[in-house]
Structure 1
Amino acid sequence: MDNRHKVRLGISIGDTNGIGPEIIIKTLSDQRILNYCTPVIYASAELLKQVRKALNAEHFHFKEVTGAQALVAHKVNLINCWENDLELKPGSPTSESGKASLDSLLAACRDLKADLLDGLITAPIDKDNIQAEDFRFPGHTEFLTSYFGAPESLMLLVSGNLRVATVTGHMPVKEVAPKITEELLIRKMTILLDSLRKDFGIQKPRIAVLGLNPHAGEKGLLGNEEVEIIRPAILQMKERGHLVFGPYPADGFFGMQQYRQVDAVLAMYHDQGLIPFKTLAFESGVNYTAGLPVVRTSPDHGTAYDIAAKHIANETSFREALFLACDVIKKRQEAEMPTV
């Protein structure tokens, strides 16, 4: 395959004391990955050598390059983001590991913004440990939305045909209800519908919207948000010709497997959507940021400090994140091709 037609995927290392380096090396040890993309790891050669040795990953090889302008075909490329030796303390976040994760992320984002990459896969960060002058955000999603100048984005968890998005993201539960407005719901539904068409190739997508309260408010008995905010927003979208249904009680919706009947589910808040998603697809799930001008995916788990350096981390979610990024990038490229 001609390298000019392969997607160039930047990979930020995540917190170096978590499982990020391990799942990256395990994924890229399979040389068949190079038939689909040109991976570019943003870290340091010394770090990768240390982890490779600990894992006894004899099939993992990489090529150091000076920058994303000099990528080598059919190789895992490495761009060094720091020169000093980084002491690994698996399982324990340190100021050094936080700085390394941020240096890696910023370097990859700069190259992505400069069109030297086609997409980005982010390994897990420690949301507290990474905080710095250049990162005052509750997570990757909010940072990337700001960095790439998107008016708004949407956290979308994906595993095969199961797709679950959330209206609100990383915020305390007590702040969720005041945040839910008709205007916000319409914006989030619009982003989701656009992404399903553009990024997943679904021409007439169907989405189900969950209620905020138990039993979707029980006609106002358990809360008025469904009657006063959520249902009117759904009706507006239906009037515009979209296939939007709900609001559904969250427990019954997933318990009766109604998610199989739609292309995506829109939950009101983080745990309402992510708990059932991870129950159904924890190992294969991918976190995709819809609404960005760039393509970003991530495994759907965190740093997993408790199993760092035990060499038992499952790389399936990271591998699926890589394949999803390739698929979305190709769909976007195909959509931009002139029709004859």
Structure 2
Amino acid sequence: MAKTPFLPLIGITMGDPAGVGPEVIARALADPDVYRGCRPFVLGDAEVMREALPPGMAVRTIEDPAEAGGLAGRVDLLPLSHLPPSSRVPGRPTVEGGRAMVGYILEAVELARKGRIDAMVTAPINKALMNAAGFHYEGHTPLIAERTGARDYVMMLAGERLRVTLVTIHCALKEVPGLLDASAIRRTISVTHQALRRDFGIERPRIAVAALNPHAGEEGLFGDEEARVIGPAVQAARAEGMEVAGPLPADTLFFHAAAGRYDVVVCMYHDQGLIPLKLLHFADGVNVTLGLPIVRTSVDHGTAYDIAGKGLADPSSLMAALRMAASMVRHRAAAGEAAAIDRDP
């Protein structure tokens, strides 16, 4: 008798209850294709989820992730909050909703850390609301890294045609040159290289490193960061056997990366990577945290309060995040780094 395919058990955090998270989850879990690759369930609020469902779908509350049945059209949900009607209004965020939003994340991290789920996928949150609720982090990534004990972690944004990782993330552009050093760049290259092998199954990753300045500094005419910090980091990575090119002028680099010459581009700052990524993958980009002991992917969009509850939100990014999380789990399992446990519904 043929063995039943391994379907990773994936917890989806609902995100800000007032944002588009519940809606994109509902629309994604209405698609039978999602269940061919994983067994998803939601960590959130049952009433919020019910109010986001289209006709014909239902919420089934569960007490344990193992109860998730993986049936299209039915949302299995682990209830972690019971928000009052005033905190369930689409487009109107509240501090109470913000506390619940963080609670979903913390529970998913614990479940993943203990091996009770195979991966977590996060719906969008409001970073200011997170801080207003008493959790002083810049977003999901540093919170999850702290809770899992990860020290060297990297943000990746990925689509079918392009992947980018970031040396610096959320900071003012004027601060970037002072934050760059050879050690930070070298660490980003290394974490990226290891993750492409472990999580994406690329045996010998081809990594391109973007320059900071126009024309890669034009031999020092437009800046010296290429010669002073980026170049030495690239050379150090090469000395360790990694296939790394750079620093390369960013104005031409992304064309070649999107055409398939490189598996990833290591970028010096946030918008250097996200502008080309979102040009190609505005709807279906995925945010991945590399270097964690658990698998975590996320949608690559915000809470979109202006369209929340209006039936306009696109579930493509969430669906791509679920597919990528399931693929990462399988690659880790194939490498013997995570147990592909058959969990019968």
TM-score range, shorter chain: over 0.9
Aligned position for 1:335: 335
* 1:39 matched residue in structure 2: 40
Amino acid at match of 2:9: R
The structural deviation recorded for 1:161 is: 4.1
Structure 1 pair 37–258 and aligned structure 2 pair: CA distance change class (3 A): closer
* Residues 258 and 118 (structure 1), Cα distance of their counterparts in 2 relative to 1, 3 Å cut: closer
Identical aligned residues as a percent: 38
Instruction: Indicate how the Cα distance of structure 1 residues 11 and 281 shifts in structure 2: closer, same or farther if over 3 A, else same.
Output: same
CA contact (8 A) 1:150 1:293 kept: yes
The answer to whether the 8 A contact 1:11-1:39 is kept is: yes
Deviation string 1:289-313 (CA, Å, 9 cap, x unpaired) is: 1111110011111111121122111
CA apart distance, 1:252? 2.4
Q: Give deviations 1:203-237, integer Å, cap 9, x for gaps.
A: 11111000112222111111111011101111111
Give the match for residue 27 of structure 1.
28
What do residues 276-327 of structure 1 show as CA deviations (whole Å, max 9, x unaligned)?
1101111111011111111001111111112112211111011000000000
CA distance, structure 2, for counterparts of residue 179 and residue 259 of structure 1: 30
Instruction: Kindly provide the amino acid, as one letter, of the partner of residue 307 in structure 2.
Output: I
Unaligned runs of 5+ in 1: none
Partner letter of residue 18 of structure 2? Answer: N
Supply the AA of the counterpart residue of 2:51.
Q
Higher mean C-alpha displacement, 211-220 vs 14-23? 211-220
More displaced, 73-82 or 18-27?
A: 73-82
Moved more, 121-130 or 73-82: 73-82
Deviation at 1:157, TM superposition (A): 0.9
Q: Secondary structure of the equivalent of 2:178? A: helix
Residue number among 46, 58, 62 corresponding to 1:61 in the alignment: 58
- Contact persistence 2:162–2:264 (CA under 8 A): yes
Any idea what SS the aligned residue of 2:229 has? helix
Q: Report 1:25-104 matches (<5 A).
A: 25-52=26-53, 56-58=54-56, 60-72=57-69, 74=71, 76-87=75-86, 88-104=88-104
Structure 2 unmatched runs, 5+: 339-345
* Deviation by residue 1:235-270 (Cα, 9 ceiling, x = unmatched): 111122211001111122235666631010000011
| More displaced 10-residue stretch of structure 1: 227-236 or 2-11 | 2-11
* Offset at residue 11 of structure 1 (A): 0.7
Give the conservation status (yes or no) of the 8 Å contact 1:9–1:119. yes
- Alignment root-mean-square deviation, CA: 2.1
Check conservation: 1:38, 1:77, Cα contact below 8 A. no
Q: Displacement of 1:39 after TM fit?
A: 1.1
TM-score by length of 1: 0.92
CA pair 304-281 structure 1, distance change in 2 beyond 3 A: same
Distance in 2 (CA, whole Å) between partners of 1:25 and 1:49 is 9
Write the deviation string for residues 126-185 of structure 1: whole angstroms up to 9, x where unpaired: 000012676211011111111111111111111114111111112222222111111111
CA contact 2:166–2:273 (8 Å) conserved in 1: yes
SS state at 2:42 partner = strand
What residue identity is the alignment partner of 1:157?
Answer: L
Say whether the 8 Å CA contact 1:29–1:61 is kept in structure 2: no
Structure-1 residue corresponding to 2:14: 13
Q: Tell me, in whole angstroms, the C-alpha distance in 1 between the residues paired with 2:260 and 2:38.
A: 31
Amino acid at match of 2:331: K
Is contact 1:259–1:265 with CA below 8 Å preserved after alignment? no
Contact 1:26 1:57 in 2 (8 A): no
Q: Is the 8 A contact 1:211 1:249 kept in 2?
A: yes
Going from structure 1 to structure 2, the CA distance change for 1:228 and 1:276 (only over 3 Å counts) comes to: same
- Write out per-residue CA displacement over residues 42-91 of structure 1, whole angstroms, 9 at most, x where no aligned residue: 11221111111xxx342x33321112354445464211111343432222
Q: What one-letter code is carried by the residue in structure 1 that aligns with 2:63?
A: T
